[in-house]
Structure 1
């Protein structure tokens, strides 16, 4: 498949097409033609760019380049550029080293691509070495090279060096200003970042977004909103930053309200916007707002649901209690990944639909998607809710033996909960004793709850002892043990636990509830 990018040459999106073009060049005698090779390398390099780039295409592009006897500087720069923008920027640094070994002299186009790769990888030493070579070859006067160096040092290198580069720059260069502001903001020095922002002679949209993002990422959402309101012009990034900042702070209603304002001024939302809003609805448990957001997603995507948004919608519907809609959305996701399967399997499990959850896990096993540790938390939870002890044990061993996943505390907690719900309290204690990891309070609280249900006072005392050893100020643990005694009519034991609470200064939190009002 060949795809035309606006304003660029043709890019290849699948390895078969790339091989076909390469083969035709060889058959027709163009394999040594510099002009044709340049176009081929450029098409291959473009295919490496972005999150949708396929590993097979990238691998073949690199193999193909390696077969060119004497690539010129343009070809080297082109393949380094593609590698630096790919999912594996390490290749860009490797190619730069090969270029040096083959005595091909880099130019002012080479260094920005290599430095961008070093920035992505946070390779400070390598980037600093490249900086040294830039100085030796005299390219530091080039504006693009200098600004890329500034970005590198501001983001992951030395801020003092970044500041010196900035001081040597043209004070009208907004790219340099924005890079230094972002550097200080990323390191948490918002006061210096704001001072630089206020001193900027000319601010463009990028510089406004850099400062708004700085405030939002560091939790200062009020400052971010104030600056957002003051901005002379905004784009979708501006809106997304503040909406996302509200969601991160748990101010989900404010996020939904700002989205309404965004639509009101005619700004078109993108996938980032909608992802933040779906998360907001999930956190609120607001099904009505979630359905409206879902409708908007289908409108702007023309019915083509991305994997990322599909997964978020499945999670949102599950959290809002509409598991049937969650399943319908799940089947609409064309390219299901492990997160897609995990979300629906866990959603079904925690809503009590154990058979459907385990049925989907069986379906997952028939696909090319490999289960991970999160998958088995959902599977074991389904077995626990259904009381399927034998099946749960089978899946626990399957996880370790077939998929080589070592159980973590969440897996062990599910097994303990499963055994406790089935009344196998001694087995639950034996399992805890065999665990290679330290059981946490959730595991012991699960046992304590099971002891209450099944009326086992002695084991409840042992579980409570472990809980108090971990943290003795949780009133719920005392109350639960007291209730175990009370359920068996052992009122003296219940009274002793209450007295122990008083002696240790533990007070029971007053019960409360809330009702969300809609205006």
Structure 2
């Protein structure tokens, strides 16, 4: 066909480009692009738009923009494609910039694309101006656009605006509800997340999907509410279309374990047919968290027997369990094996666990030597590493080591939480002047300790 120019026109080229896009034949699309140019059809806007869309699909934003620049009068489709392309390829500033200079009215698809860029840049003000445009010029029911606005406000942390958009939506689907639940969970408003989930179930406007369930279970776990956890678990069991597998199964295990019901967590774990790394890591962490540290090593052995590779979270749970159970030698053996076999996953949190292993058994000199060893690697000890060492010094009354650690921390610019531990260590020995001196250093450096919190559920 290409050898006979009379047999093709811009429609045939358009269909050919769509075929290339659907089959990911980007090399062939470049040949067609060349033929389009030679045949004189390149100036047709439909073909130019197809080429932009094709290059965007292949993440070739440079070629897409070159085509866009050749369009004499870009249509809204042209603008939407290039805005979407910049956003999709990670050039968020360019996406917003192109949106700002549009000489045609954006449509809903254009707005969705630019809101995605605003999400990634946390551009609250610009996103709000886009929202104003939507209210003034795109006042029609469009759940996809409304979900994009909702997701934007959630991602930038403006939950009041998100809730207002959510409440004013004429129609809400499962994406709307899941976004709202997930947004509250991510920002720590777990009670509100559970409340939205309850509202969703009662209103029956949309049925919760796996994402909704996983998010609300995370809220239950954060609240430590066993009753809420059991309620959601019961709901999942009633739903035949949501199997207790994969992400849902792992979330149920995690929620039960964090709510103190390790028996149910293990039961759910046993019922999961396809146990992945997350499943094993979650149950190992749950067992360790509930004071059954001596059971984690046999579990880890079973994990390896089943051919499931551990990850960094698995080893953190294992090392923590060994530390809290006094299994110093076993923990050190695990760490050495991890470094030798899985060296790439070793991070500061693992090192903090090793320091804690030494420290809890009173082997402070070895703990300090290990910190020195870590400093000699391409890894800078962080707050947890120093915190474990300082806490041990405080427990065992080793003031000489505290002084050495303090000097190192001030020199390296440690976090407020770690320096606060040093100050408390002095205070516990009634060395108030030194304690105040550390506090003054913190004040001078503008450091503060983040306040901690915990949750318990009361039977009333």
TM range (shorter): 0.7 to 0.9
| 1:412 is the counterpart of 2:351 | yes
Match of 2:268 in 1: 329
Equivalent residue for 2:85, pick from 152, 170, 173: 152
Give the Å deviation of 1:184: 4.8
| 1:226 is the counterpart of 2:167 | no
- Matched residue SS, 1:346: helix
Match of 1:451 in 2: 393
Q: Could you tell me how far apart the structure 2 residues matched to 1:103 and 1:226 are?
A: 47
| 1:100 is the counterpart of 2:37 | no
Q: Could you tell me how far apart the structure 2 residues matched to 1:181 and 1:158 are?
A: 10
Equivalent residue for 1:343, pick from 267, 282, 302: 282
Match of 1:246 in 2: 184
Q: Could you tell me how far apart the structure 2 residues matched to 1:457 and 1:289 are?
A: 46
Q: 1:150 to 1:479 in 2, by over 3 A?
A: closer
Match of 1:7 in 2: none
Q: 1:228 to 1:424 in 2, by over 3 A?
A: same
Q: Could you tell me how far apart the structure 1 residues matched to 2:16 and 2:449 are?
A: 71
| Cα-to-partner distance string for 1:193-242 (whole Å, 9 max, x where unaligned) | 12211222442222222222222221111111112222222222222222
Q: Could you tell me how far apart the structure 2 residues matched to 1:273 and 1:423 are?
A: 46
Q: Could you tell me how far apart the structure 2 residues matched to 1:505 and 1:466 are?
A: 14
Q: Could you tell me how far apart the structure 1 residues matched to 2:100 and 2:402 are?
A: 63
Instruction: Give the conservation status (yes or no) of the 8 Å contact 1:380–1:395.
Output: yes
Equivalences for 1:43-192 in 2 at 5 Å? Answer: 77=18, 80-81=21-22, 92=24, 95-101=25-31, 111=51, 114-115=54-55, 117-118=57-58, 124-129=61-66, 131=68, 135=71, 147-153=80-86, 156=91, 157-163=94-100, 167-168=103-104, 173-180=107-114, 182-184=116-118, 187=121, 188=123, 189-192=126-129
RMSD: 3.8
| 1:193 is the counterpart of 2:130 | yes
Q: Could you tell me how far apart the structure 2 residues matched to 1:167 and 1:324 are?
A: 63
Q: Could you tell me how far apart the structure 1 residues matched to 2:441 and 2:32 are?
A: 75
Instruction: Give the conservation status (yes or no) of the 8 Å contact 2:285–2:318.
Output: yes
Give the Å deviation of 1:381: 1.8
Give the Å deviation of 1:416: 1.0
Instruction: Give the conservation status (yes or no) of the 8 Å contact 1:349–1:357.
Output: yes
| Structure 1 runs not aligned, ≥5 long | 1-71, 83-91, 486-490
Match of 2:380 in 1: 438
| Cα-to-partner distance string for 1:81-135 (whole Å, 9 max, x where unaligned) | 36xxxxxxxxx4xx312442588968969647634535xx5x53244246468x4
Q: 1:503 to 1:363 in 2, by over 3 A?
A: closer
Give the Å deviation of 1:289: 0.7
Q: 1:79 to 1:334 in 2, by over 3 A?
A: farther
Instruction: Give the conservation status (yes or no) of the 8 Å contact 1:205–1:234.
Output: yes
Q: 1:212 to 1:504 in 2, by over 3 A?
A: closer
Q: 1:74 to 1:298 in 2, by over 3 A?
A: farther
- Matched residue SS, 2:344: coil
Q: Could you tell me how far apart the structure 2 residues matched to 1:408 and 1:347 are?
A: 21
| 1:477 is the counterpart of 2:422 | yes
| Larger relative helix fraction | 2
Q: Could you tell me how far apart the structure 2 residues matched to 1:392 and 1:241 are?
A: 41
| Cα-to-partner distance string for 1:47-85 (whole Å, 9 max, x where unaligned) | xxxxxxxxxxxxxxxxxxxxxxxxx99798557436xxx
Q: Could you tell me how far apart the structure 2 residues matched to 1:347 and 1:396 are?
A: 20
Equivalent residue for 1:283, pick from 212, 215, 222: 222
Q: Could you tell me how far apart the structure 2 residues matched to 1:175 and 1:128 are?
A: 18
Match of 1:215 in 2: 153
Structure possessing the higher relative contact order (Cα contacts under 8 Å, 6 or more residues apart): 2
Q: 1:413 to 1:313 in 2, by over 3 A?
A: same
Instruction: Give the conservation status (yes or no) of the 8 Å contact 1:384–1:414.
Output: yes
Aligned length: 419
Q: Could you tell me how far apart the structure 1 residues matched to 2:193 and 2:242 are?
A: 24
Match of 2:303 in 1: 364
Instruction: Give the conservation status (yes or no) of the 8 Å contact 1:197–1:211.
Output: no
Instruction: Give the conservation status (yes or no) of the 8 Å contact 1:154–1:162.
Output: no
Give the Å deviation of 1:415: 0.9
Q: 1:78 to 1:358 in 2, by over 3 A?
A: farther
Q: Could you tell me how far apart the structure 2 residues matched to 1:512 and 1:369 are?
A: 35
User: TM-score scaled to structure 2, two decimals?
Assistant: 0.77
Give the Å deviation of 1:509: 11
Q: 1:377 to 1:75 in 2, by over 3 A?
A: farther
Q: 1:359 to 1:73 in 2, by over 3 A?
A: farther
Instruction: Give the conservation status (yes or no) of the 8 Å contact 1:464–1:481.
Output: no
